[in-house]
Structures are given as structure tokens and as C-alpha cells.
Amino acid sequence: MTETAESQGDDRIIRESGTDARIAMIVRPVLEGIGYRLVRVRLSGQNGPTLQIMAERPDGSMTVEDCETVSRALSPALDVEDPVSGAYNLEISSPGIDRPLVRKSDFASAKGHIVKIETSVLLGDRKRFRGRIAETNGERVAIERDQPAYGEEAKVDIPFDAIADARLVLTDDLIRDALKKDKQLRQERKKRRRETADETGQEEI
């Protein structure tokens, strides 16, 4: 994938185009400056223009409070740059459980779960694939199809630079793992707060 001025410093393998790309250039540095990562930008016209900015912390978490923090940080930058003509609604959201996969690390973290992938080029006469992520490396992701057609290989290797869109499929296993991860993150945050309180001599609230 060719590195462009728009993508310098952006480790996402799936990026926006057109107006969405211009908005991404504005918001990504702001997000990184306050400790968040950009997942996706999408400007849609349903129910009036809505600018959805999907973001997360480096650990993959994103609370309601985080969304409010991001909104307060991005609104002034968007007002100054004014990338969208006319009035629009700004929506800050988390990636969700059935999240889009936009970084190589997202695919590695989702190993064992079912994903839908759409490619920008034909791979074996197909552009759409569904299967369980078996393994990844720096160049490609291997998936084991859960619904292979007759005569198709059960396992397929998909180069990262051929992926146009990818999203996890909501399953019981995915929900279970997401809840487990959320519990672990909450425990880690509580532990850090307790350690900080001990260091400062303040009582934990």
C-alpha cells in the first residue's frame, strides 16, 4: 500500500476516501493528542447529515465519558477547519462488539472469531469472504470459512493490502470474550486508581 501525505503516521490498513479522508486528517492528530485512536470516519446523509467518528483507547475500550471527552476535543477543531458544508450532527461512538477491523493488530486480537471481509480485488473469483480468523502475519490474514461453497477451499489467505472492509460477526463467543475483556479492563483501572491514591496519600473514591 503506497504511503501518502494523508496516511503518514496512520497505522490503519483500511482508510477513508474523499471528504471522509479529509476529516480523518483533521481529527486523527487531535485524538492521538488526548490518548485515543481513530477507528473510522463516516459522513452520512440519513436523517440529516451526520458525521460519525469512531474512536477507542489504545486498549480497545471506549466509555460514554470517553465519547464526551472526544466530542469536546474535536468540536473546536472541526469548527475551525469546517470540512462539512452546512449544519450536521456530530456523533462520537465506540467500535462496538461487532467492530470494524481497521488495523493489523485488530485482526490479531480477533483470532478465533468470525469475520466478514470484502476485498478490493477478486480473490478466486470472489470479493466477499466469511470465516473464523485462523492466523495473521505482517502481510495477510488466514480465515477458515464457516460456510464454504461446494468445491471451495475451507481455508483462504487474504492479503491485508487487498482488504477494503472487514467487520466481526456478532456471536455468543464474541460477546462472552468482550464481557470478559471489559471486566479485566475495569479491574485494571480500579487497581491503577488504588495505586495512585496510595502514592498521593488520598483516599480512593
Residues 34 and 71 grouped into a single domain: yes
- Reported in sequence order, the residue ranges of the chain that DSSP labels E, i.e. its strands, are 37-44, 50-56, 89-93, 114-123, 126-136, 140-145, 155-159, 163-168
CATH number, position 172: 2.30.30.180
Q: Please check whether residue 105 is in contact with residue 77, taking contact to mean a CB–CB distance below 8 angstroms.
A: no
Last residue of a domain, one of 35, 67, 93: 93
Q: What is the pTM of this model?
A: 0.86
Does 36 fall in a domain?
Answer: yes
Residues 76 and 108 grouped into a single domain: no
The residue segments making up the domain with residue 70 are: 18-93
Residues 65 and 138 grouped into a single domain: no
Does 151 fall in a domain?
Answer: yes
The model's pLDDT over 98-152, given as tens digits with 9 standing for 90+, comes to: 999 999 999 999 999 999 999 999 998 899 999 999 999 999 999 999 877 777 7
Confidence label for 91 from pLDDT (cuts 50, 70 and 90): very high
Residues 118 and 191 grouped into a single domain: yes
Last residue of a domain, one of 72, 93, 114: 93
Q: How many domains are there within the chain?
A: 2
Question: What pLDDT score does 6 carry?
Answer: 45
Does 192 fall in a domain?
Answer: yes
Residues 102 and 84 grouped into a single domain: no
CATH number, position 27: 3.30.300.70
Angle at 196 between CA 192 and CA 199, to 5 degrees: 140
Task: Tally Cβ neighbours within 10 Å of residue 9.
Answer: 8
Confidence label for 13 from pLDDT (cuts 50, 70 and 90): very high
